[in-house]
Amino acid sequence: MRDKVVVITGASAGIGAALAERLGRDGARLVLVARRQSELDAVVARAGDAVGIAADMTRRDDVARVVREAIARFGHIDVWVNNVGRGISRPPSELTDEDIDQMMLVNVKSALYGMQEVLPHFKSRNAGQIINISSMLGRVPYFIPRSAYSASKHFLNALTANFRAEVQATHPGIQISLVSPGVVATDFGLNAVHGGVDSRSIPGGQSAEEVADVIASVIESREPDVYTRPGAREMIAKYYADL
């Protein structure tokens, strides 16, 4: 991990902030990205060799700027972590066009922009790794109020798999990995569109630090598809076997 250049989006809180601190302790050189400058600055101060860039990952021009500034600062990028995401609390029968558009913009387009904008740099080196943070709800749609969020993560999962197949056909040195947490004890639920319960109050949630440890292991192993919770694969298999 030492001296790897890692870009982490959504780095001002939650999983992104925990990952920044974890990788900083391991000696990585970090580019931390978020919209909220003051919160981002606080994480940068705790993350070792790190620089913060205030940017909105739902704007392609901002994503392209982050790529340019990261390369200007460190000379290259080794790993790009797409960690921007937002939940929603509304049953499918009540979803509006705006609800769907918001979920697709934040949870899918932000990752697509990251993948597309960093790809030419990775291709020039035939090296690099993109890590997309998905969700167990992207495999098993078992919570009705998160229907549009779950659908957006299903979309992200398919996009990731197809992006990997396309890129590796010509550039096998580039890996595109998917990491799927379950409930994480952060303020994610409170920040959902239309509000929601505090994810920290849900029994059995993982800490952001536990999830960060798994993501760090994926950087080392370069595995393509990883769940952060033990037993997740078996639970998913049972869900589909019982349909």
Interacting residues of 116 by C-beta distance below 8 A, sequence separation 6+: none
Q: Which amino acid is at 195?
A: G
pLDDT confidence of residue 140: 95
**Residues 19-43: tens digit of each pLDDT:** 999 999 999 999 999 998 989 999 9
Q: Indicate the pairing of strand 50-54 with strand 174-180.
A: unpaired
Residue with token string 């400058």: 37
pTM metric for this prediction: 0.95
Q: How would residue 199 be classed by pLDDT, with cut points 50, 70 and 90?
A: confident
Interacting residues of 147 by C-beta distance below 8 A, sequence separation 6+: 90, 91, 92, 95, 141
Asked whether 77 and 62 are in contact (CB, 8 A), the reply is: no
Q: Which amino acid is at 239?
A: Y
The overall longest dimension of the chain from CA atoms, in Å, is 52
pLDDT confidence of residue 40: 95
Rounded to 10 degrees, the C-alpha dihedral 87/93/99/101 comes to 110
End-to-end CA distance of the chain: 42
Active site residue 113: no
Q: Where are the domains of the chain?
A: 5-241
pLDDT confidence of residue 59: 98
199 vs 226, more confident:
226
pLDDT confidence of residue 203: 74
pLDDT confidence of residue 188: 86
- Is 13 strand, coil or helix? coil
Phi, psi (degrees; rounded to nearest 5) at 123: -65, -35
pLDDT confidence of residue 183: 85
- Is 92 strand, coil or helix? helix
**Distance between CA atoms of residues 162 and 185, nearest Å:** 31
**Residues 102-113: tens digit of each pLDDT:** 999 999 999 999
Q: Which amino acid is at 128?
A: G
Topology given in CATH for the domain delimited by 5-241: Rossmann fold (3.40.50)
Question: Which tokens go with 1?
Answer: 């991990």
**Residues 37-56: tens digit of each pLDDT:** 989 999 999 999 999 999 99
**Residues 67-93: tens digit of each pLDDT:** 999 999 999 999 999 999 999 999 999
Q: Which of 113, 142, 149, 227 is catalytic?
A: 149
pLDDT confidence of residue 186: 83
Q: Which one-letter DSSP state was computed for residue 77?
A: -
* Average pLDDT, integer, range 115-127: 98
**Residues 222-243: tens digit of each pLDDT:** 999 999 999 999 999 999 999 8
* Average pLDDT, integer, range 4-8: 98
